[in-house]
Amino acid sequence: MRIFFIILLSFNFLLAADYFETAPYVSTSSLGNDDFEKEFNDPKKENIIDPLSGYNIIMTNINDKFYEYLLKPTAQGYAYIVPENARNGIGNFFDNLFFPIRFVNNLLQFKIQNSIDELERFTINSTMGIAGFADVAYSTFNIKSHQEDFGQTLGFYGVGSGFHVVLPLFGSSNLRDIAGLLADAWIDPLNYIAARDINILKNSEQSLYLTGFYTINKTSLHIEEYDNFKKDAIELYPYLRSFYESRRTKLISE
Amino acid sequence: MKQLLYSFLFIYTLTIAPLWALQENEITSFMQKNMDVATTILRDTTLQKSQKAEKIFSIFDTIFDYALMSKLAVGGKHWEGLTPEKQKEFSHVFEETLKISYMEKLDLYTDEKLIIVKSEKIKDSRIHLTTHLIKNKEVYEVIYKFYKDASNNWLIYDVDVLGVSIIQTYRTQFADFLAKESFNNLIIKLKNKDSQPQ
């Protein structure tokens, strides 16, 4: 019995000694020949060419100030007046309006079932969901939305991201996604485009107000998340850039 | 007296000994079990945020390789040029940064479910464990990236959230910061960030 405990004890001490001496840093010595560096230097994961970095940093700061001093207080004031349920409903209403963008881009990427889902969602939510305010398609029929935009479609066809560009108000983007934004704008019901055959809105002033309303409503639903997300930043511009580029790559791969 | 000593040793062995090695075939079961434990902790309304974090860290600390994460975030080239003391100091500060960031996320937790979707062996020394965090109709993908160390233990060296690698994000920012500032200033910056009120 005693022998048993002696063995147990020495085993323990060996383990403990091993732990306290080396365990926290054991990896550092064992890593020399591993290919971690390659994994994290993969050019596909990170936009190394950043010719606009000077401008991008300035625009990031302007956008951040715009958010902190104008958009966020406005959205907070709005959230104070309008209950969350109503804001969710309004969010659903707008999401339902953006149906054409999702439908077309799913189709362009041959995601046929997703396009059918989107079509069903639009039909169900526009009628039973009272003009899209209630997401009946999900709550009753469990049909999920499939977010796709033209930037993702371009990525699907192998178009590279191009360098990073921070847009005024819109925030992080890149050459490919700017092309995508322009294409999506053409079928976006919230836009007024004179050259377009069908316009729900009467003029670009209406479009501006509605887009503003949409933005404030959407922001009001995510203030806490965004503030929390931003707290992690050590350097805001590279943080947002790195996050945006990785996230887009991921979305395109899905 | 002797009995007390023995029982103490016995408990000590049971609790400490198994912690230092996670084998390949145990990864999924370890994570499944402990994600369930973590969910229970998160839902416990009698605990303060810091207590919850403390309990969760005590479970997962053994499988996170913070030293390696520090090295990868700084970048191998820069890391080699640092003295072992600096490396150690940085690792401690960075571990704190990561933990505080995690703790802040607990504010956002409501009633999300955590499930393991799949475990993939990317290559001989890498396993990716894909999990889903489900909140109403939203599904957030979180991938825990394991590697096999020299003594065949599996440890986490990075976590992908929504396709974004946490280490890569820090690495980009540190590279940017170190291009214009000294390494000591980076440590000071992280320390200041760590000591900010939450």
Which tokens belong to A67? 């958010």
Q: Determine the pLDDT at residue A8.
A: 47
Q: Determine the pLDDT at residue A200.
A: 86
- CA A220 to chain CA centroid, nearest Å: 16
Residues of B in contact with A11 (CB under 8 A): 13, 17
The answer to whether B17 faces chain A, any CB pair under 8 Å, is: yes
Burial of residue B76 (CB within 10 Å: 0-12, 13-18, 19+) is: middle
Q: Which residues neighbour A3 within 8 Å (Cβ) at sequence distance 6 or greater?
A: none
Amino acid present at A236: L
DSSP summary character for residue A144: P
Of A5, A34, A233, the CB nearest to B9: A5
d(C-alpha A159, C-alpha A176), whole Å: 7
d(C-alpha B48, C-alpha B124), whole Å: 41
CB within 8 Å: A11 and B13? yes
For the stretch A212-227, pLDDT in tens is 999 999 999 999 989 9
Decide if B95 contacts B193 (C-beta within 8 A): no
Reported as type and span, the H/E element at residue A148 is: none
The residues in B 111-150 lying below 8 A from A, measured between CB atoms, are 125, 137, 147, 149-150
Q: For residues B174-184, give the mean pLDDT.
A: 92
CB within 8 Å: B13 and A8? yes
The answer to whether A16 faces chain B, any CB pair under 8 Å, is: yes
Q: Determine the pLDDT at residue A94.
A: 95
Q: Determine the pLDDT at residue A158.
A: 93
Crossing angle, helix B166-178 and helix B66-74, to 10 degrees? 50
Domain B2-194 has CATH 3.10.450.710: yes
ipTM of the complex: 0.81
Of A23, A36, A251, the CB nearest to B72: A36
The answer to whether A144 faces chain B, any CB pair under 8 Å, is: yes
Decide if B187 contacts B93 (C-beta within 8 A): yes
Of B105, B149, B165, the CB nearest to A228: B105
Decide if A158 contacts A123 (C-beta within 8 A): no
The answer to whether A243 faces chain B, any CB pair under 8 Å, is: yes
For the stretch A81-111, pLDDT in tens is 999 999 999 999 999 999 999 999 999 999 9
Minimal-distance CA residue of chain A relative to B188: A234
Q: For residues B161-177, give the mean pLDDT.
A: 92
CB within 8 Å: A15 and B151? no
Q: For residues A37-41, give the mean pLDDT.
A: 82
Q: What is the domain partition of chain B in residue ranges?
A: 2-194
**pLDDT of A23 over the 50 cut:** no
Pair type for strands B154-161 and B164-165: antiparallel
Residues of B in contact with A117 (CB under 8 A): none
Which tokens belong to A146? 């499939």
For the stretch B26-77, pLDDT in tens is 889 999 998 889 888 988 888 888 888 899 999 888 899 999 999 999 988 8
